[in-house]
A and B are shown apart, each in its own frame.
Chain A
């Protein structure tokens, strides 16, 4: 069961294309051995998570590659970094960290990566098609690519992402293989209030619950509302063919499940492309577990995303993962003619690509008049940009709610986008528990 390398692999490993490519292939080969892969396979693209500065080690590694003459072999996008290059004044960290973070960003661009700086590469114009093999890092992007696009990526992370981009090769293992994409744990929503299924805030809560219960197994969700075709009949699942608002819900669900658990793929029967039916999602086999989702489980999951449910609000942060153009389309009417409380900062994290579209649609004046701070290229929970950390910070993102208390040492309240806006106007947390307690 030894790993079989082809001539190109061996040439890279022998250093025939430079020291950088040699190191990258050495790491790919070792990771393939660990994964028990029989061979390596080609990829058509990569998404790199290693550009966020976590310390000297990340910079040392990419410099070793760049100084060794490495270049990416496939189109490669970059995840959020530590700096907002469009709004550099937002950075509140120390100068040394800023300089190191900038060196890291520059080094990845030097390797030939595109300066996209977004955790939502699936919102960029060119995204992987159904069945395409890619090497994506960033847990929310991985789960979106596998689940919603039907592209194939394993759980790549820092270091191996750029090694895959430099070699164009990955271990033929994990979620690249059919058998490993089989749904294992069925979550039934039969007992859930149908009105809750229409709420955007339901999806991150469900994802948070699923991540905690599924761990690393592939969940299959039964009972999400189907997408109606114009004729009123349920539309057949088509890869990448979901309306933007449905994609945003599945984005929030997947990001939450990849935070509270190791979920790298889910099936939503009737919505995601590898789950036209429950049987198809299970590959015709019985599930390992079936879980009936109860209102009490959902209420508990929602509560666990909040560390302080009542009190003065200091800030709102939305857009984790990065706010899409459809989410802006929902936010802008909520902010029209609204004055936010003077004590509350309102942050929206998004990509420079989506921001350009927001500008093109003429929405920026509404956001500016309301006092919204737009953050691009990075995110409020991975780098110091927030002005206030005392009081409560509200978010509609389960991922943000999950990580921010540890990362930033803040108190957090989870709510819907509309609740975030209402709270930002009131200056204190305003939430409606009604639907969740019913």
Chain B
């Protein structure tokens, strides 16, 4: 069983960003989705490398995957978590970090094995337990779930849940940002 509470499980896609090097936050031409969109690029610190893309899911608080994520369906089950009931499957998670239990690595690896895990994880502070789960899943199953630390000050706050995000192996994160009227 995948999905929870009617949330769609998106299919992964090719990342829309360009490959040129550099750092910081760079606007890019819109790729795909919204005609009024633009793409920002920021450079993160790679904990686990790989390429992936998917819709953004922002977690307002740290989440312990153990006790907080059901790997069978990819749903957040921590009742105290603001995003409880959402599915992480196929999404690019933006999260402040993990929390609590040291069993979270296995739960993440199991979710990646089952295909219910996130497409990629963006952390606002480094978290070894999360990185390890993704690292072991790659060693055992050859499946990439890149884990990248991004600078919260450089992150485009205006990027909504569902915005297209792509991560490339060099740690560049491409974020689709909706423009408001008159912005461009």
Contact = CB atoms under 8 A, between A and B. Distances in A.
A259 interface: yes
Contact of A64 (B47, B67, B103, B140): B140
Given A54-B66, A64-B140, A137-B102, A34 B131 contact: yes
A239 interface: no
Given A137-B102, A259-B100, A261-B100, A60 B140 contact: yes
A180 interface: no
Given A31-B128, A406-B79, A139 B113 contact: no
A35 interface: yes
A352 interface: no
A35 B137 CA distance: 19
A406 B136 contact: no
Nearest to A304: B80
A57 B113 contact: yes
Interface string B41-82: 000000100000000000000100011100100000111000
B113 A142 contact: no
* Most A C-beta atoms less than 10 A away, residue of B79, B97, B103, B110: B103
B139 interface: yes
B98 interface: yes
A69 interface: no
Nearest to B67: A403
Contacts of A85: none
Interface in B73-122: 77-79, 97-107, 109-110, 112-114
B166 interface: no
A397 B139 CA distance: 37
Interface stretch (A10-18, A157-165, A281-289, A368-376): A157-165
B114 to A, nearest CB: 8
Contacts of B77: 406
A156 B97 contact: no
Chain A, interface SS category? helix
A156 B102 CA distance: 7
B9 interface: no
A259 B110 contact: no
A30 B128 CA distance: 10
Contact of A27 (B102, B114, B132): B132
Contacts of B112: 57
Contacts of B100: 139, 211, 258-262
Interface of A: 23, 26-27, 30-31, 34-35, 49-50, 52, 54-58, 60-61, 64, 137-139, 142, 155-161, 211, 215-216, 258-262, 403, 405-407
13 contacts: A27-B132, A31-B128, A31-B131, A31-B132, A31-B135, A54-B107, A57-B136, A60-B113, A137-B102, A157-B102, A158-B103, A259-B101, A406-B68
Interface of B: 47, 62, 66-68, 71, 77-79, 97-107, 109-110, 112-114, 126, 128-129, 131-133, 135-137, 139-140
